[in-house]
Structure formats: structure tokens, C-alpha cells
């Protein structure tokens, strides 16, 4: 019997977000919530920058999300955008202007009030101060931003030079969470040092970049999201985030009551956690599932027949069963299944090695003496650039390498440090690249595949795809926009621009004392409603 490999880790290229909002339920009925107490949380990777706009991994977002509120929130069950710091809003028919009516009485933790000018300074800082290098997600959400006008102290009008329907959902993300003027006035580097001031339900007590973090309850907090289960202050007094890289040590610390909750609980850890009354909470990340993105200008991957064959040459269920475990699921589209407007394309990318061989034969790729195919003297061989930011990447790709070898395809795995990986991506110096991106909005397809956006495929025009990707930005009607995103998903697969593998999942181990720890729409953790049973 195949056994999952002990790996699991933090998400690569984490961006923001839809997930289930399940409570822990550990230990049975617990009665009414009890305020107070310190929750000790074990991170699998060290937190990086303390600025929510620059946070780049799930483990960091778990921390930074607690100090900022956003203009809106997103219901993790329905994907609907709901009020938070903005009580209401209007979107212009051309999707270029968004007018937010702010909740009165909101203050940042330094006592200064939230105003429309605060919104303006935050968005200006993301676009002009942080840039796309320091805050790539926030910068992509604000593409075409021309400015924010304070119509009155509590009315902010945000304007773009082009249609930007995705911005309403973007306004719910932690990357666009609002910070006080004292923070937005700082340089990007200064904002990573841990003393950022937000309006959120927690404030930083200590932040040691690359080491640990502690947040404490904000007294007087009274402007929670409409998604939250209660209003008023958070229940927890304090959350201590500790870095425990070894999975077995994390699970052991949870079972021995040294920690209350942990990231990346492995399948083999579950019996130990459950034996002491704990449980494992799981949700799939929305956005782009993990997959291979081919550079269509290099080598055999220029041939659409090869790219199409690769879609059906990967046994995704074997990846889950052999490498990951039951909390993961095979990818079934160019969007994850928890993403609003997701369309199931599993039939189109179903594993069928015999069909793959026939397709490659028909395209002129003939097996050589070593089993690897060739055409016109060119071997069917290409590299896959990847990083270890998600601990499962190498084991997954090694198994894919074996699967593709069986149909005559040679894959060269090219692991890189985070810095080299980013540099080569930016230079588009690769045959293909392997990663995922998290966001609970189908616009992630545009920012990934759009001709005027990242376009790591280095592709030229594909008129139907280009039209769907950019028309959805003009669609204020949710049903129309969902239809366009559905078209784009299929066209990405039809053209072999993304070869999906698995969906990233968050697996959080919790003790029986932890109640109501939930996933927000991004698949990250929401601690506001969490409490400890005494």
C-alpha cells in the first residue's frame, strides 16, 4: 500500500484566497464562548515581513492578518462580498470607480481615526511606495489606479483608468488591509520591522522577523466584519506564534499541551493529535492550484500537441495518494475548486496514458532507443523550475517525472533558492515553472495569464482567451463575470498554458481546548471568534 510522504509545508507564492468556515468542534459541545487566555500557535515556517501588504507566505499572513481590517470581507461559504470597515459601497457601471462609505467611530490602535484620507494614503503607499516588487499582490489589485478622493471624511472614491471589477473582492484581502498614517508614511523596509499600526482586533506586542511574533487583544474593538460570528472585542487575550519547523515536533508539542494549534498537520500526525482529544481542520486553497506553467517559446513546449498531451499524462490521484494524503485533492481545472466561478474540467484532463501516446505519435514525436521521444532531432525533454517553499514540491515533481517518463517525456527538475527562483521567473528564464497562487477570485487567471500582466507563458495573442480575461474586468454583474471566468478557465487548459497537479490544502491541528478556529475566504486563519475552553 502506498504511504504519504512526510512533507507538507507553507504555500509557495501565496496571494490571497475561498475556504470552509468550519469550527473545531473538538471535544464535543463546549457551551458559550469564554473570553481570555493565551493561544500558543506553532508555525511551520518563520514569519517574514510584518507588513500585511508585503506578507508573502501563509505562515506570515496568519500573523499579519490579525492587526488589520479591510474595507470589505468575503463570506467563505458563498464568496459574497460583505461589509467591514465600509458599511456600503457603489460600483460605477464601467467598473472604474468604487465609492466606499466608511463606518463611523473606527480608530487605529494609536488612537487616530479611520477616514477617507486613510484609505487614500494606504492605496497610494501600495502603488507608489511598495511597488510591485515589494507588494506584488497589492500592486496587481490596484493596476490602473489613478487615485483616491476623500469626498467627505467618511466617503472614499477609488478610481482606475480602466475597468477593474475584481477590485471589490481585492478590497477584502489582507494585502489591502488599512494601516494608520504613522505606518503608511514609512519606507517599505521600515514597515517590515513589527511596529505597524492597524485597526484590527489584535495589535503587535512583539515581532521578531524570521523568528516569532506575539499579538494581543485590542481593547475597545467594536467594528468586526459582518462575517464574524460575534461583535465586540476578540475572545483571546493573546496569541503567541512560535516557529517549529519539524512536523513531528509540532505534533508532539500539541499532544503534550505545549502548543494549542499548529500549521501543517501531516496525515501521520492525525492519530497522535486525535488520541489526546484534538482534531485536524482542513480546507483547500482557492486560486491557482499547483501546476506546471510552460514557456511556449522554448523547446518542445512550443508544440501545442505536447502541452495538450501533458495535461493527460499526469496521474493526479497517485500524487495525492502517494505523496500527500487524504486532506489534499487532485487539481481539476486551472482554478482550485474553492474559487468562486470554478468550473470542473476533470474530464478534459483525465489521466489517459494510452491517449497521450497516440497524440504524441500523431504529432511526430517518436520514441527513441532510451524510450524518450524525439522529433526532427529534438528530444522531448524540458526543465521544470521550482522552489521548496512548499515542502511537497520536490516529491510531487519526482513522481510526475516518473509518470511522464512512461510516455516518453524527459523532465529535468531544477530546484532553486527563493531568490534565484524569483529572479529566473522575472527574467522568464525557464522551460517551465511550478507553483501555485492563492486568491478567492477568478481574476487570478488574468494576473497570471494575461498578455499585459505576468504572462510567464511568454505567449502571444489568443483572442478568445484575451477577450474573456479582460472582459471579466468590465462585468459588474456577478453572473456575467462568472461566465467569463469559466470560459477563461477552459481556454487556459485548451491551450496548454497550465498543467494542473494538486490543490494546496491547509491542515491545522488543534487541541480540544481550542474552539471556533476558522478559515477565512482565503483559506487562512480567522482568530477573532476563537476561544479557549478552560
Q: How far apart are CA 202 and CA 28, in angstroms?
A: 28
pLDDT of residue 18: 29
Q: What is the mean pLDDT of residues 328-357?
A: 97
**Per-residue pLDDT at 20:** 37
- pLDDT at 9 exceeding the cut of 70: no
Average pLDDT over residues 192-199: 92
pLDDT for 56: 77
Grid cell listed for 216 = 494581543
pLDDT, mean of residues 380-406 = 94
Mean pLDDT of 5-28: 37
Q: What is the DSSP string of 30-85?
A: --S-----EEEEEESS----S-GGG--SHHHHHHHGGG---SEEE-TTT--EEESS
C-beta atoms surrounding 417 within 10 Å: 10
Residues 6 or more apart whose CB falls under 8 angstroms from that of 287 comprise 15, 17, 335, 336, 339, 436, 437, 438, 439, 440, 444
137 falls in which pLDDT band (50, 70, 90)?
confident
Sheet of 366-367, strand order: 366-367, 373-375, 378-379
Rounded Cα distance, 242 and 232, in Å: 27
Residue 215: strand pairing partners: 204, 239
Domains of the chain, CATH where assigned: 38-283+507-532 (3.40.190.10), 287-503 (3.10.105.10)
Residue 28 confidence (pLDDT) above 60: no
pLDDT at 449 over 70: yes
pLDDT in tens, 343-370: 999 999 999 999 999 999 999 999 999 9
pLDDT tens-place string over residues 475-511: 999 999 999 999 999 999 999 999 999 999 989 999 9
Whether this prediction's pTM lies above 0.95 is answered by: no
pLDDT value of position 215: 98
What's the pLDDT score for residue 29?
Answer: 58
pLDDT digits (tens, 9 = 90+) for 274-294: 999 999 999 999 999 999 999
Q: Across all residues in the chain, what is the average pLDDT? A: 92
Amino acid at each position: 500500500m502506498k504511504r504519504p510522504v512526510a512533507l507538507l509545508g507553507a504555500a509557495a507564492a501565496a496571494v490571497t484566497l475561498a475556504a470552509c468556515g468550519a469550527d473545531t468542534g473538538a471535544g464535543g459541545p463546549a457551551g458559550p464562548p469564554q473570553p481570555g487566555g493565551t493561544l500558543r500557535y506553532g508555525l511551520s515556517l518563520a514569519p517574514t515581513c510584518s507588513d500585511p501588504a508585503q506578507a508573502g507566505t501563509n505562515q506570515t499572513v496568519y500573523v499579519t492578518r490579525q492587526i488589520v481590517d479591510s474595507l470589505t470581507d468575503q463570506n467563505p461559504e458563498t464568496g459574497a462580498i460583505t461589509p467591514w470597515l465600509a458599511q456600503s459601497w457603489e460600483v460605477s457601471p464601467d467598473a472604474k470607480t468604487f465609492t466606499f462609505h466608511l463606518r463611523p467611530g473606527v480608530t487605529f490602535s494609536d488612537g487616530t481615526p479611520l477616514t477617507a484620507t486613510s484609505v487614500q494614503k494606504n492605496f497610494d503607499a501600495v502603488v507608489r511606495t511598495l511597488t510591485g516588487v515589494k507588494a506584488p499582490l497589492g500592486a496587481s489589485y490596484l493596476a490602473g489606479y489613478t487615485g483616491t478622493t476623500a469626498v467627505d471624511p467618511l466617503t472614499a472614491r477609488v478610481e482606475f483608468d480602466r475597468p477593474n471589477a475584481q477590485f471589490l473582492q481585492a478590497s477584502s484581502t489582507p494585502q489591502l488591509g488599512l494601516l494608520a498614517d504613522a505606518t503608511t508614511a514609512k519606507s517599505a523596509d521600515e514597515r517590515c520591522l513589527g511596529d505597524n499600526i492597524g485597526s484590527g482586533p489584535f495589535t503587535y506586542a512583539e515581532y521578531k522577523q524570521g523568528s516569532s511574533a506575539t499579538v494581543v487583544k485590542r481593547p475597545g474593538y467594536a467594528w468586526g466584519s459582518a462575517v464574524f460570528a460575534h461583535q465586540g472585542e476578540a475572545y483571546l487575550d493573546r496569541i503567541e506564534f512560535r516557529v517549529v519547523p519539524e512536523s513531528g515536533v509540532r505534533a508532539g508539542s500539541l499532544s503534550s499541551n505545549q502548543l494549542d494549534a499548529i500549521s501543517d498537520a501531516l496525515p501521520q500526525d492525525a492519530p497522535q493529535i486525535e488520541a489526546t482529544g484534538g482534531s485536524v481542520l482542513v480546507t483547500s486553497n482557492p486560486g491557482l492550484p499547483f501546476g506546471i506553467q510552460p514557456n511556449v517559446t522554448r523547446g518542445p513546449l512550443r508544440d501545442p500537441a505536447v502541452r495538450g498531451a501533458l495535461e493527460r499524462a499526469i496521474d493526479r490521484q497517485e500524487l495525492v495518494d502517494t505523496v500527500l494524503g487524504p486532506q489534499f485533492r487532485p487539481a481539476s481545472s486551472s482554478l482550485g475548486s474553492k474559487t468562486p466561478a470554478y468550473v470542473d474540467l476533470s474530464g478534459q484532463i483525465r489521466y489517459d496514458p494510452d491517449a497521450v501516446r497516440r497524440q504524441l505519435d500523431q504529432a511526430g514525436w517518436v520514441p527513441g532507443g532510451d524510450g524518450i521521444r524525439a522529433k526532427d532531432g529534438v528530444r522531448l525533454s524540458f526543465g521544470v523550475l521550482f522552489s521548496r517553499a512548499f515542502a511537497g514540491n520536490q516529491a510531487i515533481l519526482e513522481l510526475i517525472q516518473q509518470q511522464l517518463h512512461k510516455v516518453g517525456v524527459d523532465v529535468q527538475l531544477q530546484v532553486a533558492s527563493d531568490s534565484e527562483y524569483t529572479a529566473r521567473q522575472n527574467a522568464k528564464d525557464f522551460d517551465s515553472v511550478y507553483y501555485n497562487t492563492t486568491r478567492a477570485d477568478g481574476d487570478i487567471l488574468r494576473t497570471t495569464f494575461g498578455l499585459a500582466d505576468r504572462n510567464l507563458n511568454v505567449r502571444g495573442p489568443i483572442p478568445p482567451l484575451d477577450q474573456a480575461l479582460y472582459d471579466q474586468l468590465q462585468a459588474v454583474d456577478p453572473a456575467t463575470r462568472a461566465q467569463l471566468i469559466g470560459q477563461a478557465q477552459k481556454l487556459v487548459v485548451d491551450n496548454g498554458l497550465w498543467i494542473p497537479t494538486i490543490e494546496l490544502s491547509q491542515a491545522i491541528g488543534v487541541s480540544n481546548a481550542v474552539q471556533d478556529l476558522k478559515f477565512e475566504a482565503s483559506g487562512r486563519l480567522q482568530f477573532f471568534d476563537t476561544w479557549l475552553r478552560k
